[in-house]
Amino acid sequence: MARKVVIVGGGAAGLGAAGGAKAADPANKVVVYTQFEDVAYSPCGIPYVHGKEIPDFQALFLADKQSYVDAGIDVRYETTVRSIDTAAKKIRVEGEGEVSYDSLVVATGFDYKDPGVAGAGLGGLYYVKNIRAAMEWDKVLDTVKKAVIVEASALGLEMVTALAHRGIETHLIDPHPWALGELCDPDIAAPVQESWAEMGVTMHWNTELKGFLDNGKGHVRGVATSNGEIACDLVVVATHKVPNNALAMAAGVTAGSTGGVVIDDHMRTSARDVWAAGDVCEIPHGLGGLPLQGLTGSHAYAQGKVAGFNAGGGDRAYQSVYVPWGMVAGKWMIGGVALGEVAAGALGIPHVVGRATGISRARYYPGVKQVRVKLLAEPGTLRLIGAQMVGGEGIKERADFLGVAVRKGLTLHDLATMENVYSPPIGALNEPIAVAAQNGVAEARKGA
């Protein structure tokens, strides 16, 4: 029986849900409400246009509005959903009034964590999110001489790299002692930071933001920090993502310790016929079930597809996540999956470590890059519980692989004896993952 599936949010999760609802039953009526002028563009591409690696914002659009019309998906642009009534199965939309649904998907995404200091309303504070705003900010960047990035989050790393690449004097402040301090280990962050220094970036570690400073005309003139003031023309506020959960919370939908909406393995919330997907949710980590929030666009899209499919009458489960990650930062690629040494240490999880530094192609082949791999395993079983890498190529593919390896319970023994492609232009005699695993097995023997 066809249903009316209403989706709140037009990002990766919302549009994934729209596609999922149509996949479950093409007769479903699917309506998406978004506060923005556009859907179906890649917000993840914005830092690279700012960095002038991508020539213009038009490149980021994935599909035109007509393609959604053609797919039978009714997108309502520049709309605001005011409330959800889960008992009556209705939402209230500004200007449109009450709208009923059979199934609702909440995909309201994230906000940047409020920095919680004075001056947050000043001009010159850039919260990267919406493409139309980014186009305006890009013009501003042409006039900026000196910028401060607040926090070495994933977006912060991308923006530091982009602004330095653009030739802006770039400062980074972060309360941790190194980049991506909660996710990434210091040995993995170190080459990135060295390369930023080469690019002229000034890093201020162990440094708390104390306030944004007013130039007297309502525009930022610098930031106050625990280590003094830094003058600047622009601040990029790249604090951590927090769930944009207000609408769901007001409707009585249960949220968890992270503030993310709690969902089951079918992306169902605590409310009848209400699903949720993407950055508004929290998702249990596959290792130990710790709730995670603020994952990637790829996760949001995949969760959206599952939520929409189920909201549209289908039956599909979403797996626990192990979160392979990867990015370009400075002159390097970094990435990993699940636990690093810092996280495992902080959680008190015992682990054996295997490390290796290898190369991406034959030593003599042009374009060869270093690849450093660190593998963490459970003592005894040597079951893989995490990995971190830094290198010049092949980091994303290795992170994907190791993500599946963690999920499927593969061990260092499995990886130590893996076969690998050896062909001078694309792969070295020894695969660094295999060597790191061999070294981990040897470490474990020593410890035993």
The whole-angstrom separation of Cα 253 and Cα 323 is 25
Query: Please, which residues bridge with residue 321 across strands?
Result: 285
CB 81, min distance to a second copy, A: 25
CB 400, min distance to a second copy, A: 5
Q: What is the dihedral of CA 161, 164, 170, 176, to 10 degrees?
A: 20
Q: Are 82 and 71 in contact (CB under 8 A)?
A: no
Cβ proximity to a second copy: between 233 and 443 the closer is 443
Considering only 116, 419, 446, 447, the residue that binds a second copy (CB under 8 A) is: 419
* Number of chain positions touching a second copy (CB under 8 A): 64
Stretches 107-115, 186-194, 217-225, 397-405: which one binds a second copy (CB under 8 A)?
397-405
CB 297, min distance to a second copy, A: 5
Nearest to 21 by CA among 270, 317, 298, 304: 304
Query: Please, which residues bridge with residue 237 across strands?
Result: 150
Nearest to 104 by CA among 166, 161, 172, 31: 31
In one-letter notation, the amino acid at residue 257 is S
Q: Are 262 and 269 in contact (CB under 8 A)?
A: yes
CB 362, min distance to a second copy, A: 6
The whole-angstrom separation of Cα 438 and Cα 442 is 6
Cβ proximity to a second copy: between 33 and 332 the closer is 332
Q: What angle do CA 70, 74, 75 make, to 5 degrees?
A: 110
CB 425, min distance to a second copy, A: 5
Query: Please, which residues bridge with residue 355 across strands?
Result: 374
The reply to whether 315 sits near a second copy by the rule CB under 8 A is no
Stretches 102-110, 113-121, 315-323, 339-347: which one binds a second copy (CB under 8 A)?
315-323
Per-residue binder mask for a second copy (CB under 8 A), 326-365, x = binder:
xxx----x-x--------------------------xxxx
Cβ proximity to a second copy: between 115 and 304 the closer is 304
Two tokens, residue 173: 């402040």
Cβ of 87: how many Cβ atoms within 10 Å? 10
Cβ proximity to a second copy: between 253 and 359 the closer is 359
Two tokens, residue 267: 């992306």
Stretches 106-114, 142-150, 225-233, 421-429: which one binds a second copy (CB under 8 A)?
421-429
- Which residues, numbered 3-62, are part of the site for a second copy (CB under 8 A)? 12, 42, 44-45, 48, 53-54, 59-60, 62
Stretches 30-38, 73-81, 137-145, 425-433: which one binds a second copy (CB under 8 A)?
425-433
278-298 in b/e form (b: 16+ CB < 10 A) is bbbbbbbbbbeeeebbbbbbe
Beta sheet of 281-284, edge-to-edge order: 261-262, 281-284, 291-292
Stretches 182-190, 198-206, 273-281, 393-401: which one binds a second copy (CB under 8 A)?
393-401
Binding residues (CB under 8 A) for a second copy: these are 12, 42, 44-45, 48, 53-54, 59-60, 62, 296-299, 301-302, 319, 321-328, 333, 335, 362-366, 393-401, 403-405, 407-408, 410, 414-415, 417-427, 429-431, 433
